[in-house]
Structure 1
Amino acid sequence: MKITTKDGVQLHVEEAGDGTPILFIHEFGGNHASWEPQMQYFSRRHRCITYAARGYPPSDVPESLDAYSQAIAADDAVAVLDGLGIDKAHIVGLSMGGFCTVHVGLRYPERALSLTVAGAGYGCEKEFEEYFRGVSLEVAENFERKGAKEFSKIYALGASRVQFQNKDPRGWQVFAERLATHSDRGAAMTMRGVQARRPSFYDLEDELKRMAVPTLVVVGDEDDHCLQPGLFLKRTIPACGLSVFPKTGHTLNLEEPAAFNALVAEFIAQVEAGRWLPRDPRALPGQIMRTR
């Protein structure tokens, strides 16, 4: 089905199952189909929704750079909920979708039952901020100049993707073939408008400290540029937990689907039971052992 955003962009949406809603938001290197292992698993007891972001066919591909930004991406996620008549949902996002999930929590906390932020952090580290912006623009140019069919062969073998290839060659091949179907223009505009311009988590510290939505952060231990930002989110968001998957890269939900599904299912169960709480104030970060 299609829903229409407030600026008239049509987004492709798929859903399955009944129960408390879960909205899945995909990464730059994937699309709505990247969540198929989660759609199958969670739809047994939840209403599961996935959608193709703007710039990702079969959703519309706006031509103007002004149609792409981090704020617009968060607005689109809420537009999907509105289009389906959903008041609140658990929000689950990977990478670019993880950033979007954080911004849904900041901009629309009343719409989120919980936030799962997986593999998010690229460009947040201050020492790599300018490098990230530069390489994002280079990636955008490559998608336009070489096209997704050719450039995907390079992009799919990034430093945090080869773990997936080594563990699950067939699964990685599906990921790579999906990446090759990206819109050349949509991928370039997404890189320039969303990725290269989004704010670092570190610049949002004050807002994150006030965000009360239950949050789970998930990072692979070989996804190097997400580790420190993940720790930052853990230490900053009041009701936040952090899980680190060993020997794991960026494509968490596909690389380790069983572990990812079990972890998120337990998190959602704790949230729905009212047991995912802010950190106990007695758990002082500076204390090593109590002596009095």
Structure 2
Amino acid sequence: MRITTDDGVGLDVTDHGEPPSPAGAPMLFVHEFGGDQRSWAPQVRHFARTRRCVTYNARGYPPSDVPADPAAYHQGRAVADAVAVLDALALDRAVVVGNSMGGFATLHVGLRHPDRCVALVVAGCGYGAHPERAEAFRADAVALADAYERDGSEAVARDYGNRPARAPLRHRDPAAHAEHLRILAEHDPVGAALTMRGVQAARPSLFDLREDLAGMAVPTLLLVGDTDPEALDATLMLSATLPDAGLAVLPRTGHLANLELPGVVDALIEEFVGSVEGRGSTLQR
């Protein structure tokens, strides 16, 4: 299906439907820069049996629209788009699940719209967040944007998709890694470049948001691979800062934990969300 945001951008949304006997809150999945909604296929297969699952392509990722205006791409817009999907499907509250760029958006949904969140699952979140590495991260993001415009998506995919934090997927599941590279190569170069500059390079550092994060009471599961060093560093800070967070560090796992260890990730999410919903039921009695 297709929805339209408040600034007139069309987003491609897949509502995977209500299972015959839904067991809990619906789930909204927010993808990373290097993927799209297809990157959540393992989780959708698992959770759609018992929950309503919704995925979507961010702006700049066809078949969603690719606005040409750079001002249409920023962290606040990514948050507003996630909420727009909830609104369009008349979902008052959901479990919001995000990886990497989607993890940043998920955290910000929790900060700005806690009333729309049953719980958050934030995976692989933190690249460029540490103040000592912020300048280098922004320079790399701008260089990637330039590469998309100069060389095209297929060339960027060969480099970006084989970076060290993504290599564990290649070693663990070559077929899943090949699919990841195929999705990367299909990125719209204009949308990818604008997303890199407007969302990735310009997003606020999580370390600068610690005061706000310390006041965010939404239950949050933090997932990170131990071979994803920049995300690990920021995730440990989040674990120490958020008032209601659980942390799972996955061994010998990189930046794409949901694809590298889908069964483990599914089980962790299921146990976490079940505990949150169970706690809510106890409080209501």
Q: TM-score, normalised by structure 2?
A: 0.96
1:5 aligns with 2:17: no
**Residue matched to 1:284:** none
Separation in 2 of the partners of 1:42 and 1:21?
A: 9
1:17 is displaced (CA, Å) by 3.6
1:258 aligns with 2:263: yes
1:274 is displaced (CA, Å) by 1.1
1:104 aligns with 2:124: no
**Residue matched to 2:242:** 237
**Deviation readout 1:105-143 (Å, 9 max, x if unpaired):** 011010010000000000101110000000000000111
1:275 is displaced (CA, Å) by 7.0
**Residue matched to 1:70:** 75
- Structure 1 or 2: more helix by fraction: 2
Separation in 1 of the partners of 2:156 and 2:234?
A: 28
Identity across the alignment (%): 50
**Residue matched to 1:227:** 232
1:180 aligns with 2:181: no
Aligned amino acid, residue 229 of structure 2: D
Separation in 2 of the partners of 1:5 and 1:275?
A: 32
Give the gaps of 5 or more residues in structure 1: 277-292
Aligned amino acid, residue 112 of structure 1: C
**Deviation readout 1:225-276 (Å, 9 max, x if unpaired):** 0111101111111000110000000011111101110100111100100179
Aligned amino acid, residue 9 of structure 2: V
Note the 1:35-114 alignment, pairs <5 A. Answer: 35-114=40-119
Separation in 1 of the partners of 2:168 and 2:41?
A: 20
Separation in 1 of the partners of 2:68 and 2:96?
A: 28
1:197 aligns with 2:202: yes
SS of the residue aligned with 2:96? Answer: strand
SS of the residue aligned with 1:50? Answer: strand
1:28 is displaced (CA, Å) by 0.1
Aligned amino acid, residue 4 of structure 1: T
**Deviation readout 1:11-53 (Å, 9 max, x if unpaired):** 0000214232100000000001110111110001100000000
SS of the residue aligned with 1:116? Answer: strand
SS of the residue aligned with 2:165? Answer: coil
SS of the residue aligned with 2:81? Answer: helix
**Residue matched to 1:285:** none
Aligned amino acid, residue 81 of structure 1: L
RMSD over aligned CA atoms reads: 1.2
Note the 1:10-29 alignment, pairs <5 A. Answer: 10-18=10-18, 19=22, 20-29=25-34
| Conservation of the 8 A alpha-carbon contact between 1:219 and 1:227 | yes
Aligned amino acid, residue 98 of structure 2: G
**Deviation readout 1:188-240 (Å, 9 max, x if unpaired):** 00000000000111110111111010001000000010111101111111000
Aligned amino acid, residue 11 of structure 2: L
SS of the residue aligned with 1:140? Answer: helix
**Deviation readout 1:74-100 (Å, 9 max, x if unpaired):** 000000000001100000000000000
SS of the residue aligned with 1:11? Answer: strand
Separation in 2 of the partners of 1:239 and 1:70?
A: 23
**Residue matched to 2:252:** 247
Aligned amino acid, residue 119 of structure 1: G
**Residue matched to 1:138:** 143
Stretches of 4+ moved more than 3 A in 1? Answer: none
Q: TM-score, normalised by structure 1?
A: 0.93
Q: How many residues align?
A: 277
Give the gaps of 5 or more residues in structure 2: none
Separation in 2 of the partners of 1:55 and 1:264?
A: 28
